[in-house]
Amino acid sequence: MDASLSPLISLRHVGKSFKDGEVRAIEDISFDVRPGEFVSLVGPSGCGKTTILRLINGLITPDEGEVRVMGAAPEPGPDLAMVFQSARLMPWRTVAGNIEFALALRGLNRKDRQERALALLGAVGLRDFANAYPHELSGGMQQRVGLARALSVEPKVLLMDEPFAALDAMTREVLRNELLQMWSERRMAIVFVTHDIEEAVLLSQRIVLLRPRPGRVDEVVDVDLPEPRWQKDPRPLPAFIEMREHLWNRIRGMAADGVELEELAGAFPRLGTPDKGAR
Ligand SMILES: Nc1ncnc2c1ncn2[C@@H]1O[C@H](COP(=O)(O)OP(=O)(O)OP(=O)(O)O)[C@@H](O)[C@H]1O
Protein backbone atom coordinates (compact mmCIF):
# COMPACT_ATOMS: atom_id res chain seq x y z
CA MET A 1 0.00 0.00 0.00
CA ASP A 2 1.18 3.55 -0.72
CA ALA A 3 2.44 4.85 2.65
CA SER A 4 1.28 8.38 1.82
CA LEU A 5 -2.31 7.12 1.80
CA SER A 6 -2.19 5.33 5.14
CA PRO A 7 -3.48 7.46 8.03
CA LEU A 8 -1.06 9.53 10.06
CA ILE A 9 -3.61 9.72 12.87
CA SER A 10 -6.41 7.27 13.47
CA LEU A 11 -9.09 7.15 16.13
CA ARG A 12 -11.15 3.98 16.43
CA HIS A 13 -14.22 3.81 18.65
CA VAL A 14 -12.61 6.13 21.16
CA GLY A 15 -14.37 6.92 24.44
CA LYS A 16 -13.26 9.07 27.34
CA SER A 17 -14.86 9.97 30.68
CA PHE A 18 -13.79 12.31 33.47
CA LYS A 19 -14.51 12.51 37.19
CA ASP A 20 -14.48 8.74 37.73
CA GLY A 21 -16.89 8.16 34.90
CA GLU A 22 -19.35 10.86 35.98
CA VAL A 23 -18.71 13.02 32.89
CA ARG A 24 -18.90 11.10 29.63
CA ALA A 25 -16.94 13.45 27.36
CA ILE A 26 -16.80 11.45 24.11
CA GLU A 27 -18.10 8.12 22.85
CA ASP A 28 -17.33 5.94 19.83
CA ILE A 29 -15.25 8.56 17.98
CA SER A 30 -13.66 7.23 14.77
CA PHE A 31 -11.90 9.20 12.03
CA ASP A 32 -8.54 9.36 10.24
CA VAL A 33 -6.15 12.14 9.31
CA ARG A 34 -3.83 11.42 6.39
CA PRO A 35 -0.35 12.90 6.01
CA GLY A 36 -0.53 16.55 4.98
CA GLU A 37 -4.29 16.72 5.40
CA PHE A 38 -6.16 19.69 6.94
CA VAL A 39 -9.01 18.39 9.10
CA SER A 40 -11.31 20.53 11.25
CA LEU A 41 -13.30 19.44 14.29
CA VAL A 42 -16.50 21.46 14.58
CA GLY A 43 -19.34 21.27 17.07
CA PRO A 44 -21.14 22.93 19.98
CA SER A 45 -19.54 23.63 23.35
CA GLY A 46 -18.72 20.53 25.33
CA CYS A 47 -18.84 18.08 22.43
CA GLY A 48 -15.27 16.99 23.15
CA LYS A 49 -13.15 18.86 20.60
CA THR A 50 -10.37 19.73 23.04
CA THR A 51 -10.53 16.27 24.58
CA ILE A 52 -9.90 14.77 21.13
CA LEU A 53 -6.87 17.05 20.58
CA ARG A 54 -5.45 16.05 23.96
CA LEU A 55 -5.93 12.37 23.13
CA ILE A 56 -4.08 12.85 19.83
CA ASN A 57 -1.31 14.72 21.64
CA GLY A 58 -0.92 11.89 24.15
CA LEU A 59 -1.67 14.16 27.11
CA ILE A 60 -4.53 11.87 28.10
CA THR A 61 -5.32 8.26 27.18
CA PRO A 62 -8.64 6.82 25.99
CA ASP A 63 -10.85 4.69 28.24
CA GLU A 64 -12.11 2.75 25.24
CA GLY A 65 -10.91 2.30 21.68
CA GLU A 66 -7.59 3.23 20.20
CA VAL A 67 -5.71 6.38 19.17
CA ARG A 68 -2.69 5.87 16.87
CA VAL A 69 -0.30 8.51 15.61
CA MET A 70 2.20 7.29 13.01
CA GLY A 71 1.23 3.74 13.88
CA ALA A 72 1.93 3.99 17.62
CA ALA A 73 0.29 5.22 20.81
CA PRO A 74 0.79 9.02 20.81
CA GLU A 75 3.35 10.68 23.03
CA PRO A 76 3.93 14.42 23.49
CA GLY A 77 7.03 15.32 21.45
CA PRO A 78 8.36 17.33 18.53
CA ASP A 79 6.31 15.49 15.89
CA LEU A 80 3.16 17.00 17.42
CA ALA A 81 2.93 20.75 17.99
CA MET A 82 0.05 22.53 19.64
CA VAL A 83 -1.31 26.06 19.12
CA PHE A 84 -3.87 27.46 21.57
CA GLN A 85 -6.32 30.37 21.62
CA SER A 86 -3.66 32.54 23.22
CA ALA A 87 -0.01 32.20 22.26
CA ARG A 88 1.24 31.40 25.80
CA LEU A 89 4.61 33.04 25.19
CA MET A 90 7.19 33.38 27.93
CA PRO A 91 6.96 37.07 28.87
CA TRP A 92 10.56 37.27 30.07
CA ARG A 93 11.99 36.13 26.73
CA THR A 94 12.12 38.12 23.53
CA VAL A 95 10.09 37.05 20.53
CA ALA A 96 13.14 35.35 18.99
CA GLY A 97 14.06 33.96 22.42
CA ASN A 98 10.69 32.21 22.67
CA ILE A 99 11.29 30.39 19.40
CA GLU A 100 14.94 29.67 20.19
CA PHE A 101 13.85 28.10 23.47
CA ALA A 102 11.68 25.56 21.59
CA LEU A 103 14.64 24.83 19.31
CA ALA A 104 17.05 24.44 22.24
CA LEU A 105 14.79 21.66 23.55
CA ARG A 106 15.47 19.90 20.25
CA GLY A 107 19.21 20.21 20.74
CA LEU A 108 20.02 22.77 18.01
CA ASN A 109 23.18 24.79 18.59
CA ARG A 110 23.01 28.52 19.27
CA LYS A 111 23.82 29.69 15.76
CA ASP A 112 21.29 27.35 14.12
CA ARG A 113 18.65 28.36 16.66
CA GLN A 114 19.14 32.04 15.93
CA GLU A 115 19.10 31.53 12.17
CA ARG A 116 16.02 29.34 12.21
CA ALA A 117 14.14 31.67 14.58
CA LEU A 118 14.83 34.67 12.33
CA ALA A 119 13.81 32.77 9.19
CA LEU A 120 10.52 31.75 10.82
CA LEU A 121 9.85 35.25 12.06
CA GLY A 122 10.42 36.40 8.49
CA ALA A 123 7.85 33.84 7.30
CA VAL A 124 5.22 35.28 9.67
CA GLY A 125 6.15 38.90 8.90
CA LEU A 126 7.74 39.66 12.28
CA ARG A 127 11.46 39.75 11.58
CA ASP A 128 11.66 43.35 12.76
CA PHE A 129 10.18 42.33 16.11
CA ALA A 130 12.71 39.61 16.92
CA ASN A 131 14.08 41.56 19.90
CA ALA A 132 10.71 42.81 21.16
CA TYR A 133 9.01 41.29 24.22
CA PRO A 134 5.59 39.63 23.94
CA HIS A 135 3.79 42.45 25.80
CA GLU A 136 4.92 44.86 23.08
CA LEU A 137 2.96 42.91 20.44
CA SER A 138 -0.75 42.87 19.56
CA GLY A 139 -2.77 39.67 20.08
CA GLY A 140 -2.53 38.83 16.38
CA MET A 141 1.24 39.29 16.39
CA GLN A 142 1.56 37.09 19.46
CA GLN A 143 -0.45 34.37 17.72
CA ARG A 144 1.92 34.64 14.76
CA VAL A 145 4.86 34.07 17.11
CA GLY A 146 3.02 31.09 18.61
CA LEU A 147 2.55 29.68 15.13
CA ALA A 148 6.21 30.29 14.24
CA ARG A 149 7.25 28.56 17.47
CA ALA A 150 5.02 25.56 16.72
CA LEU A 151 6.39 25.30 13.18
CA SER A 152 10.01 25.73 14.31
CA VAL A 153 10.23 22.09 15.36
CA GLU A 154 8.96 20.99 11.92
CA PRO A 155 6.12 18.91 13.33
CA LYS A 156 4.35 16.30 11.26
CA VAL A 157 1.11 17.26 12.96
CA LEU A 158 -0.07 20.70 14.04
CA LEU A 159 -2.92 20.64 16.56
CA MET A 160 -4.76 23.96 16.74
CA ASP A 161 -7.37 24.69 19.42
CA GLU A 162 -9.46 27.68 18.27
CA PRO A 163 -6.28 29.62 17.44
CA PHE A 164 -8.05 32.64 15.95
CA ALA A 165 -11.13 32.83 18.20
CA ALA A 166 -9.82 35.68 20.35
CA LEU A 167 -8.74 37.88 17.44
CA ASP A 168 -10.63 40.66 15.68
CA ALA A 169 -12.22 39.82 12.33
CA MET A 170 -9.61 41.48 10.16
CA THR A 171 -6.63 39.91 11.93
CA ARG A 172 -8.39 36.56 11.84
CA GLU A 173 -8.84 36.87 8.09
CA VAL A 174 -5.15 37.67 7.55
CA LEU A 175 -3.94 34.86 9.81
CA ARG A 176 -6.21 32.28 8.17
CA ASN A 177 -4.65 33.13 4.85
CA GLU A 178 -1.14 32.97 6.27
CA LEU A 179 -1.89 29.60 7.81
CA LEU A 180 -3.16 28.26 4.48
CA GLN A 181 -0.07 29.53 2.74
CA MET A 182 2.26 27.94 5.30
CA TRP A 183 0.35 24.70 5.16
CA SER A 184 0.59 24.57 1.36
CA GLU A 185 4.35 25.15 1.57
CA ARG A 186 5.09 22.73 4.42
CA ARG A 187 2.26 20.24 4.20
CA MET A 188 2.17 19.10 7.78
CA ALA A 189 -1.16 17.56 8.82
CA ILE A 190 -3.37 20.00 10.72
CA VAL A 191 -6.18 19.18 13.13
CA PHE A 192 -8.01 22.44 13.68
CA VAL A 193 -10.72 23.01 16.30
CA THR A 194 -13.23 25.77 15.63
CA HIS A 195 -16.76 26.86 16.47
CA ASP A 196 -16.92 28.71 13.21
CA ILE A 197 -18.56 26.76 10.37
CA GLU A 198 -17.41 29.18 7.69
CA GLU A 199 -13.83 29.03 8.96
CA ALA A 200 -13.92 25.23 8.88
CA VAL A 201 -15.17 25.15 5.28
CA LEU A 202 -12.71 27.84 4.23
CA LEU A 203 -9.65 26.07 5.62
CA SER A 204 -10.18 22.34 5.68
CA GLN A 205 -10.13 19.43 3.31
CA ARG A 206 -12.31 17.43 5.67
CA ILE A 207 -14.65 18.36 8.51
CA VAL A 208 -15.57 16.15 11.43
CA LEU A 209 -18.87 17.51 12.74
CA LEU A 210 -19.50 16.52 16.37
CA ARG A 211 -22.66 16.49 18.48
CA PRO A 212 -22.64 16.76 22.29
CA ARG A 213 -23.62 14.79 25.41
CA PRO A 214 -21.62 12.70 24.99
CA GLY A 215 -19.48 13.93 22.09
CA ARG A 216 -20.04 11.76 19.01
CA VAL A 217 -19.35 12.09 15.30
CA ASP A 218 -22.42 13.49 13.57
CA GLU A 219 -20.90 13.45 10.09
CA VAL A 220 -17.53 13.52 8.33
CA VAL A 221 -17.62 15.61 5.15
CA ASP A 222 -15.03 16.13 2.41
CA VAL A 223 -14.60 19.75 1.39
CA ASP A 224 -13.87 19.66 -2.29
CA LEU A 225 -12.97 23.25 -3.17
CA PRO A 226 -10.30 24.52 -5.57
CA GLU A 227 -6.75 24.96 -4.21
CA PRO A 228 -4.82 26.99 -3.31
CA ARG A 229 -7.52 28.79 -1.36
CA TRP A 230 -5.17 31.43 0.01
CA GLN A 231 -4.75 32.70 -3.54
CA LYS A 232 -8.41 32.57 -4.55
CA ASP A 233 -11.12 33.06 -1.94
CA PRO A 234 -13.62 30.16 -2.33
CA ARG A 235 -16.38 31.88 -0.34
CA PRO A 236 -18.34 33.19 -3.35
CA LEU A 237 -18.41 29.71 -4.98
CA PRO A 238 -21.73 27.81 -5.02
CA ALA A 239 -19.92 24.70 -3.69
CA PHE A 240 -18.75 26.71 -0.66
CA ILE A 241 -22.21 28.08 0.06
CA GLU A 242 -23.79 24.64 -0.33
CA MET A 243 -21.32 23.07 2.08
CA ARG A 244 -21.83 25.82 4.65
CA GLU A 245 -25.62 25.47 4.46
CA HIS A 246 -25.40 21.69 4.68
CA LEU A 247 -23.47 21.97 7.95
CA TRP A 248 -25.89 24.56 9.29
CA ASN A 249 -28.79 22.26 8.53
CA ARG A 250 -27.08 19.45 10.44
CA ILE A 251 -26.67 21.78 13.41
CA ARG A 252 -30.31 22.81 13.21
CA GLY A 253 -31.05 19.07 13.18
CA MET A 254 -29.13 18.71 16.46
CA ALA A 255 -31.41 21.37 17.96
CA ALA A 256 -34.45 19.49 16.68
CA ASP A 257 -33.04 16.31 18.29
CA GLY A 258 -33.09 18.00 21.69
CA VAL A 259 -29.60 19.47 22.00
CA GLU A 260 -30.22 22.59 24.06
CA LEU A 261 -30.73 25.45 21.66
CA GLU A 262 -28.98 27.81 24.05
CA GLU A 263 -25.98 25.53 24.13
CA LEU A 264 -25.87 25.62 20.36
CA ALA A 265 -26.67 29.30 20.08
CA GLY A 266 -23.85 30.15 22.49
CA ALA A 267 -21.42 28.47 20.16
CA PHE A 268 -23.11 29.35 16.90
CA PRO A 269 -24.59 32.85 17.08
CA ARG A 270 -26.25 32.49 13.67
CA LEU A 271 -28.52 29.72 14.81
CA GLY A 272 -32.14 30.69 15.00
CA THR A 273 -31.76 33.71 12.74
CA PRO A 274 -33.70 33.55 9.48
CA ASP A 275 -30.76 35.04 7.57
CA LYS A 276 -29.11 32.24 5.60
CA GLY A 277 -26.20 34.15 4.13
CA ALA A 278 -24.66 36.78 6.35
CA ARG A 279 -22.92 36.08 9.61
N1 LIG B 1 -10.34 17.42 32.87
C2 LIG B 1 -11.68 17.35 32.86
N3 LIG B 1 -12.36 17.08 34.01
C4 LIG B 1 -13.72 16.99 33.99
N5 LIG B 1 -14.48 17.15 32.89
C6 LIG B 1 -13.86 17.44 31.74
C7 LIG B 1 -12.42 17.55 31.66
N8 LIG B 1 -12.10 17.85 30.37
C9 LIG B 1 -13.27 17.91 29.69
N10 LIG B 1 -14.32 17.66 30.51
C11 LIG B 1 -15.74 17.62 30.10
O12 LIG B 1 -15.82 16.85 28.92
C13 LIG B 1 -16.73 17.44 28.00
C14 LIG B 1 -16.01 17.78 26.70
O15 LIG B 1 -15.11 18.86 26.96
P16 LIG B 1 -14.19 19.53 25.86
O17 LIG B 1 -13.47 20.66 26.52
O18 LIG B 1 -13.39 18.49 25.19
O19 LIG B 1 -15.27 20.10 24.84
P20 LIG B 1 -15.12 21.19 23.69
O21 LIG B 1 -15.94 20.70 22.55
O22 LIG B 1 -13.66 21.45 23.45
O23 LIG B 1 -15.80 22.45 24.35
P24 LIG B 1 -15.59 24.02 24.04
O25 LIG B 1 -16.03 24.22 22.63
O26 LIG B 1 -16.50 24.69 25.03
O27 LIG B 1 -14.14 24.31 24.29
C28 LIG B 1 -17.35 18.63 28.71
O29 LIG B 1 -18.54 18.22 29.31
C30 LIG B 1 -16.30 18.99 29.74
O31 LIG B 1 -16.88 19.62 30.84
For residue 155, what are the CA distances in angstroms to 21, 32, 127, 149? 33, 18, 22, 11
Segments of 70-151 assigned E as strands: 80-83
Pocket flag, ligand 1, residue 206 (CB < 6 Å): no
| pLDDT level of residue 78 (50, 70, 90 thresholds) | confident
Q: What is the pLDDT of residue 153?
A: 86
For residues 14-44, b (16+ Cβ closer than 10 Å) or e, as one string?
A: bbbbeeeeeebbbbebebbbbbbbbbbbbbb
Going by C-alpha positions, the residue among 93, 91, 99 that lies closest to residue 117 is 99
Reported as a single tens digit per residue, the pLDDT across 9-64 is: 999 999 999 999 899 999 999 999 999 999 999 998 889 999 999 999 999 999 99
Instruction: Band the pLDDT of 101: cuts 50, 70, 90.
Output: very high
Residue 214 CB coordination number (10 Å): 20
The C-alpha R_g of the chain, in whole angstroms, comes to 19
Which mutation among 14, 23, 54 tests ligand 1's pocket best, with the greatest number of atoms within 8 A of CB?
Answer: 23
Could you check whether the bond before residue 238 is cis, i.e. omega within 30 degrees of 0?
no
What mean pLDDT is predicted for residues 92-99? 96
Shortest-distance Cα residue to atom 1 of ligand 1 = 18
The gap from C-alpha 38 to its chain's centroid, in whole angstroms, comes to: 9
Question: What average pLDDT does the structure give for the chain?
Answer: 89
Q: In this predicted structure, what is the pLDDT of residue 261?
A: 52
Q: Output the CA 52–ligand 1 centroid distance in Å.
A: 10
Of the ranges 155-159, 168-172, 270-274, which one carries the lowest mean pLDDT score?
270-274
Q: Judge whether 85 and 163 are in contact, CB under 8 Å.
A: yes
Q: Is 221 helix (H, G, I), strand (E, B) or coil?
A: strand
**What pLDDT shows up at residue 275?**
39
**Which pLDDT tens digit goes with each residue over 196-246?**
999 999 999 999 999 988 999 999 999 999 999 999 999 999 999 999 999
pLDDT at 106: 82
Q: Is 46 in the pocket of ligand 1 (CB under 6 A)?
A: yes
Q: What local confidence, expressed as pLDDT, does residue 247 receive?
A: 95
Evaluate if residue 270 carries a pLDDT over 70.
no
- Please report the pLDDT score of residue 105 as a whole number: 85
Of the candidates 269, 155, 259, which has an alpha carbon nearest to the alpha carbon of residue 215? 259
Task: Tell me if 18 CB under 6 Å of ligand 1.
Answer: yes
pLDDT value of position 268: 60
Asked if residue 85 has its Cβ within 6 Å of ligand 1, the reply is no
ipTM value, please give it. 0.97
**Nearest in space to 221 (alpha carbons), one of 207, 201, 238:** 207
Residue 160 has pLDDT above 90, yes or no: yes
With cut-offs at 50, 70 and 90, classify the pLDDT of residue 276.
Answer: very low
Q: How far is the CA of 50 from the centre of ligand 1 (A)?
A: 7
Q: What is the pLDDT of residue 262?
A: 56
Phi/psi of residue 86, nearest 5 degrees: -115, 155
pTM of the full predicted structure?
Answer: 0.90
Query: pLDDT band at 265, cuts 50/70/90?
Result: low
* Residue bearing the bigger pLDDT, 70 or 255: 70
For ligand 1, say whether the CB of 51 is within 6 Å of any of its atoms: yes
